[in-house]
């Protein structure tokens, strides 16, 4: 699996793009919730950009934006489909079982994204299962 290391400049640009997508969508987001662990930082950044409160609770609904760093398999975000929550991720793999409402860039199946808030020696989740 090929690792792709990202810097903060990329993240800031991606969050700006997400904020534009969300603003232009017409959705009335009342709260933003970041999923632990990867979604917390982009969620806080979006909260500031959109001037929408960040919540750290189990609040769900069609006006609560659920944020994660990546939609890889889609299993995590699929849990929120039941509540009709809009979702946002920086990255999306087309092989996921669900597509986020908002996302910035595709990830190839053989890529492992290393975000700036992660350890640079992180290993792919698939490696953990060995």
User: Which pLDDT tens digits describe the chain residue by residue (130 residues)?
Assistant: 888 999 999 999 999 999 999 999 999 999 999 998 899 999 999 999 999 999 988 888 899 999 999 999 999 999 998 899 999 999 999 999 999 999 999 999 888 999 999 877 766 554 444 4
Give the strands of the sheet with 102-106, arranged side by side: 54-55, 31-34, 64-71, 87-92, 102-106
Residue 65's domain comprises 2-128
Whole-structure pTM value: 0.89
> Domain containing 51 — which CATH number?
3.40.50.2020
Question: How many domains does the chain divide into?
Answer: 1
In order of 20, 22, 45, 103, 106, the CA distances from 17 in angstroms are 5, 9, 12, 9, 14
């Amino acid at each position: 699996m090929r690792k792709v290391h990202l810097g903060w400049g990329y993240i800031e640009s991606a969050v700006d793009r997400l904020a534009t997508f969300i603003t232009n969508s017409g959705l009335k987001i009342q709260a933003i919730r970041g999923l632990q662990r990867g979604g917390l930082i982009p969620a806080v950044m979006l909260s500031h950009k959109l001037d929408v409160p960040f919540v750290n609770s189990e609040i769900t609904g069609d006006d609560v934006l659920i944020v994660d760093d990546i939609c890889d398999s889609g299993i995590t975000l699929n849990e929120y489909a039941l509540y009709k929550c809009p979702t946002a991720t920086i990255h999306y793999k087309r092989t996921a079982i669900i597509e986020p409402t908002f996302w910035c860039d595709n990830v190839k199946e053989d890529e492992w994204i290393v975000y700036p808030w992660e350890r640079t020696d992180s290993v792919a989740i698939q490696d953990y299962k060995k």
